[in-house]
Homo-oligomer: A and B are copies of this chain.
Amino acid sequence: MGRPRTFDEGQAVAAAAELFAGRSFDGTSVDDLVTCTGVHRGSLYKTFGSKRGLYLSALRHHIDGDVTRVAGEISAAPPGQAVERALAGGAGLGFLLLAATERAAADDEVAAEVSRALDVLDQAFQKDEQATALALGLLIRSRADRPLTP
């Protein structure tokens, strides 16, 4: 059935998600993605169709993985400490943050995924949507290198 792949699609998507967590969509080039995933350009386009296709795959992977995992930690936290738990694991939520602030407005499909991710977090916070917002805001602060002074 043809020459076998030398890359794992899941690993490639995960590597792309890691890259997209640190830079904007337009700030991340296909060359960057080729280098960090190790997937050849042709194979990348064959598999994901476009840079945007890979971005969407990576975002979905991020939500189904990192975001869902953090949501689990939040749900398991004793009441009143959920936000702290979110922050502790929240270092892995950078991609969602970037997708929400930078890409959602320009891409409806991204906006839909962001909305889904926020649903997941809201559920974990028992529908306390302010808690989700607070967690995201604190995440921004930590990213901007201005963490809380406790």
Measuring CB to CB, which residues of chain A are less than 8 angstroms from any residue of chain B?
22-27, 97-98, 100-102, 104-106, 111, 114-115, 118, 129-130, 132-138, 140-141, 143-146, 148-149
> Nearest chain B CB to A49's CB is how many angstroms away?
20
Q: Report how many copies the assembly holds.
A: 2
> Nearest chain B CB to A137's CB is how many angstroms away?
3
Q: Is the CB of A24 within 8 A of B27?
A: yes
Residues from chain B with a CB closer than 8 A to the CB of A130 are 134, 138, 148
22 CB contacts below 8 A, A to B, read: A24-B26, A24-B27, A24-B102, A97-B101, A98-B101, A100-B143, A101-B143, A104-B144, A105-B143, A111-B145, A118-B141, A118-B144, A129-B148, A130-B138, A133-B137, A133-B141, A134-B134, A134-B137, A136-B137, A136-B140, A137-B140, A140-B140
Q: Is the CB of A129 within 8 A of B141?
A: yes
State A112–B16 Cα separation when bound (angstroms).
28
Residues from chain B with a CB closer than 8 A to the CB of A134 are 130, 133-134, 137
Residues from chain B with a CB closer than 8 A to the CB of A141 are 118, 129, 132-133, 136
